[in-house]
Amino acid sequence: MRPVNKTTGKLALLAVAMFGFGYLLVPIYNVFCDITGLNGKTGEINIADVDPMAVDRHRTVTVEFDTNLRELPWEFVVEERKVSVHPGEIGEAVFRVRNTSDRDVIGRAIPSVAPTQASVYFDKTECFCFEEQSLRAGEEKEMVVRFVVNTELPLRFASLVLSYTFFEVPDNKTVNRNEAGFQIKNKS
């Protein structure tokens, strides 16, 4: 009987280890992406941390904007397709979104920067992607993103593409997340 108990114990330990690994996978992946810039994730910076004296006036970087929708009954456009900024200065882009359906819809924008290696040098001070956007039927909104291209951006990158893809929030309910990034079920 002893070998069966030993096997059962090992299997239970393996199951606990697999659950723990699965639980930690999302935050570990997010930290990895933040450090390496993998997956085009951008950073966030406080506007008070932007030093106007650190602007590199000898260099210009073109930032192009791309807008996408995934099964969302909205129109989503940017006012200017591209802007030129000096690394270190605050850039701005204005987006317009309109709910074309006859129902209220909650959407979430997921940003990415291309080339992905440059994403670690791209920080946002203000962005509609920081929170979910709720639009009533037929409502239109103007949304702003303010960003800084870091002065440490390697010279080989003369242009970047900031892309946003809007998704409808599942079941049209706000998704709450804990500090580790895991979804907390709504009570409704």
Q: What is the pLDDT of residue 157?
A: 94
Q: pLDDT digits over 12-63, tens only? A: 887 777 777 676 655 655 555 554 444 444 555 555 555 555 788 899 999 9
For the entire predicted model, the pTM comes to 0.66
- Total Cβ atoms within 10 A of residue 128: 21
Cα→Cα distances 147→30, 144, 150, Å: 20, 10, 10
Question: What's the chain's average pLDDT?
Answer: 79
Q: pLDDT digits over 112-139, tens only? A: 899 988 888 888 888 888 889 999 999 9
3-state secondary structure 86-126: CCCCEEEEEEEEEECCCCCEEEEEEEEEECHHHHHHEEEEE
Residue 4 has pLDDT above 60, yes or no: yes
Torsion of CA 34, 129, 160, 71, to 10 degrees: 110
Which CATH entry fits the domain spanning 40-169: 2.60.370.10, 3.90.1520.10, 2.60.40.4070, 3.40.50.720? 2.60.370.10
Torsion of CA 109, 64, 78, 176, to 10 degrees: 10
Show me where the domains of the chain are located. 1-36, 40-169
Q: Determine which helix (DSSP H) or strand (DSSP E) holds 74, and give its type and residue range.
A: strand 74-78
23 burial (CB, 10 Å; 0-12 / 13-18 / 19+) is exposed
Residue 150 to residue 114: CA distance in whole angstroms: 15
Residue 148 to residue 187: CA distance in whole angstroms: 39
Both structure tokens of 157: 């990158």
Nearest to 177 by CA among 143, 139, 147, 132: 132
Antiparallel, parallel or unpaired: β 105-114 and 74-78: unpaired
Residue 87 has pLDDT above 60, yes or no: yes
